[in-house]
Structure 1
Amino acid sequence: MAHAELDRLQACLNFALDTLRKEMDNSQLPPLNQHSSVQHPLDDPTAYLPSAALFNARRLSLACLGELKNLIQPPLDKRMDEKFSTYSAASIDTLIKTSIIDYLSDLSNPSEGIPATELASTFGLDSQKLVPILRCCAANGWVRETRDSSFALNRCSRTFVKGHAGRRLNLSTPGFMSVVAAMPRWVTESDWKLSRSPAQTAFQIAFKTPLQRFSWVMQNPQALIPLADHLQVLGDMSTPSIVADYPWEQLETPIIVDCGGGEGGLVSAILDAHPSFQAIVQDMENVVALTSSIMKERRPRDIESGTLKVESYDLFQSQPRIGNEYSFILRHILHDWPDEEASKILIIDMVTIPNVDSTATTSVKSFLMDGDDKHPDYCVPSHFGSASKLVNAYSVHMLSLMNGCERSLREWENLVKGCGLCITNVYALRAHASVIECTLDAQGLL
């Protein structure tokens, strides 16, 4: 009996994993090991940029694994997995909030693990509650149960140790679960179900506020730091690829303006790679004070020489920097807003890919860029399935918070056309984002 789809996916996965192994060896990376007591270089995209072939081999592997799961997992099990996945996030939050993660990291023999009863005694907790929480984390690959009811950190969970990127990339901020719970009712039953206003979303329902999300954050400063940390790490994840994969040397404009540039991480990386450039970081007034302090500490010479400037700017006001000497960057901002509010800004952001029928064949060599025409075509979704789950989930997240979304290329084209711009190029990154290069639409201005 032929198992055509299963056979194609198995062959595709084997090919992707073989390529992954080869590219890791070529890059002189250590083998992957979940039991390792240290992070692997591939675990931190803010610090290590894989080769294009390695990035695509990993993405294709994840796509195949996701399609295999969709093919063989019972639908009811799949639904239960999704329904209860929020408990995985809440369980990790518990280990971070209690500092259990840091405690396990500081053990003299961190791979050995310790009994949950000892953890409960140390932190004044109930072991009968702690064991299910730790086992939930273990089932999702975040910790290891080394023996019955004893637990240790694994390689992946080290990203949550204090000082690491995952500690700051905390999606389950206060109120997050309430927004998730409010989303279905907002879309189907509320008085706002047909509204596209950023002031009429699941966020307002969950937080019982008339304020838009960012206005609410400004009035609740306790939420500002975790949000700023989350946004900073989200940006840092794509910074190495933005610097490496966009042809900055072709820019004819000597001054880069990062609109909504936060703490200045992106322009700092660009200046490091291209010292001849000048840069300006623009952000809201309450952010600029922090950014100025950070830049004075980290790049004092650039600040003193005027190579780097920090200035207050409201994205919804007229841009004070006008002229052919400027190139403008806007990263992870447009997805916050529906089209009407976003129609005056430039772009580094995610580009969603429509999920065409997964029976469509796509050339593996186009993913891995190895130039070998002997590879057959395999059956994978155009959007890479599981490898694109974050982009699509983030789109629903932006929808629920601000009536925003992650846009497809066609939607980006429609948006920028309404601003008198046209897309001149799209640069795929070794990250979830892309660089969408726009310029004035000369034809549209005639």
Structure 2
Amino acid sequence: MPHDENQPAGDRSATAAEEGLRRSAAFLIDEALGFVFPAALRAAADTGVADALANGPATPAELAATTGTDARNLYRVLRLLATRNVVAEDEHGRFTLTETGQALRSDVPYSARNAVRMLTDRTFWLPAERMAHCLTEGTTAFDGVFGIPFFDHFARDEETAAVFHVGMAAMSDPENAVIAAAYDFPETGTVVDVGGGHGGLLLEVLRRNPGLEGVLYDRAHVLAGHRLDGDKEIAGRWSTAEGDFFAAVPAGDVHLLKRITHDWDDDQCVTLLSHCRRVVHPGGRILVLDAVVPRDNAPHQAKTLDLMMMASLTGRERTEADFAELLGRAGLRLSRILPTPTVLSVVEAVSV
């Protein structure tokens, strides 16, 4: 910016500082508005807009007639989604679903629609608004919002539980095959998927390793939705087991814990990991499949997920040092960390 050479240096310095503060204010205000985009994304997911666009471009009026929405307000949502390339508007006012937005459809492999609905559900949204409580009190904000802990709320509210479990499956499905391929499983033995939900990861592990058998271990109401039945490739090589992993886990050669430890505090994780250590067969492995938070200033999904955990649950995302300490408390040793093409890594542990 040009300046008056006759202007005192102190005044020029003050002007530069003020300009820097104006830029800072503009940036922070823009970032504070960032919550509106996931709200718009959820609105589109809830109303099935992406499915309505599956057959090609359409105007807001045409989409509104298909989805039962208000055309003017739908346009406003689509206009914001277009700024992130989820949809694109042409010169005739028609919208097209972009390549980036395809997974918002419900009828495609790896659909993210249910994952979007889960991640923007009130069980995560409302506690996030009270994040300052986590800082001042050192506890989750969830209990104060809903009156009971996260998983107790799910046990009491079947509709919310269904959103969570279906959403977790949708979030996991794009990851499972590449994670299963990232680790060199033994040729024979039993793989126990601890808290394995609907079995998507175990399904991929068994498909890739025909000499292995598998056990899907979870609560009864979760196992009711498992997907292992219909796959001929793994027929006769799997079973389910009902239980509470804080009480016990089935024995096996490899124990999988995918997106489990980040839900729980350190003491709870030590209890769970200790159960695994006690029943893993000699020479076996315990694989913690979670994000490993990098120690730098770069963006990373784990840093975002960590604050979601802080607001709604008692757990957290962990660094390599955190995992080493946690495993050590459970009588295990961190033997290696294998990155995968996803945000998750394979944290391999063995008995000490």
Distance 1:353 1:265 in 2: 27
Q: Is the 8 A contact 2:293 2:320 kept in 1?
A: yes
- State the match for 1:206 in structure 2: 145
Equivalent in 129, 144, 159 of residue 73 of structure 2: 129
- State the match for 1:398 in structure 2: 309
**2:106 pairs with 1:162:** yes
Identity in percent:
22
**2:94 pairs with 1:150:** yes
Change in 2 beyond 3 A, CA 1:273/1:180: same
Secondary structure of 1:156's counterpart equals coil
- State the match for 1:96 in structure 2: 45
Distance 2:150 2:235 in 1: 34
Distance 1:316 1:417 in 2: 18
Secondary structure of 1:351's counterpart equals coil
- State the match for 2:259 in structure 1: 332
Letter in 2 for 1:167: R
How far the C-alpha of 1:257 sits from its partner, in A, is 0.8
Q: How does 1:272-351 map to 2 (within 5 A)?
A: 272-291=207-226, 294-299=227-232, 302-303=235-236, 307-321=237-251, 326-343=253-270, 344-345=272-273, 346=286, 347-351=288-292
Letter in 2 for 1:296: D
Distance 1:271 1:125 in 2: 44
How far the C-alpha of 1:168 sits from its partner, in A, is 2.0
- State the match for 2:157 in structure 1: 220
TM-score (norm 2): 0.82
RMSD: 2.2
Equivalent in 107, 111, 128 of residue 180 of structure 1: 128
Change in 2 beyond 3 A, CA 1:299/1:259: farther
- State the match for 1:237 in structure 2: 174
Q: Is the 8 A contact 2:332 2:350 kept in 1?
A: yes
- State the match for 1:373 in structure 2: none
Deviation string for 1:396-425 (max 9, x for gaps)?
111111121110000101111111111111
Contiguous gaps of at least 5 residues in structure 1: 1-72, 196-200, 356-380, 442-446
Deviation string for 1:73-92 (max 9, x for gaps)?
94334323322222111112
TM-score (norm 1): 0.66
Deviation string for 1:9-29 (max 9, x for gaps)?
xxxxxxxxxxxxxxxxxxxxx
- State the match for 1:61 in structure 2: none
Distance 1:300 1:246 in 2: 20
- State the match for 1:435 in structure 2: 346
Change in 2 beyond 3 A, CA 1:125/1:301: closer
Distance 2:224 2:66 in 1: 40
- State the match for 1:353 in structure 2: 294
Deviation string for 1:38-70 (max 9, x for gaps)?
xxxxxxxxxxxxxxxxxxxxxxxxxxxxxxxxx
Distance 2:206 2:142 in 1: 37
Distance 2:207 2:290 in 1: 22
How far the C-alpha of 1:205 sits from its partner, in A, is 2.2
How far the C-alpha of 1:279 sits from its partner, in A, is 1.1
Change in 2 beyond 3 A, CA 1:139/1:410: same
Distance 1:429 1:332 in 2: 14
**2:31 pairs with 1:82:** yes
Secondary structure of 1:438's counterpart equals strand
Letter in 1 for 2:122: P
Secondary structure of 1:437's counterpart equals strand
Deviation string for 1:353-387 (max 9, x for gaps)?
111xxxxxxxxxxxxxxxxxxxxxxxxx5xxx23x
Change in 2 beyond 3 A, CA 1:302/1:127: closer
- State the match for 2:318 in structure 1: 407
Distance 1:282 1:340 in 2: 21
- State the match for 2:184 in structure 1: 247
How far the C-alpha of 1:262 sits from its partner, in A, is 1.3
Alignment: residue pair count:
313
Higher relative contact order (CA 8 A, sep 6+): 1
Letter in 1 for 2:243: Y
Contiguous gaps of at least 5 residues in structure 2: 1-21, 274-285
Change in 2 beyond 3 A, CA 1:238/1:99: closer
Letter in 1 for 2:238: L
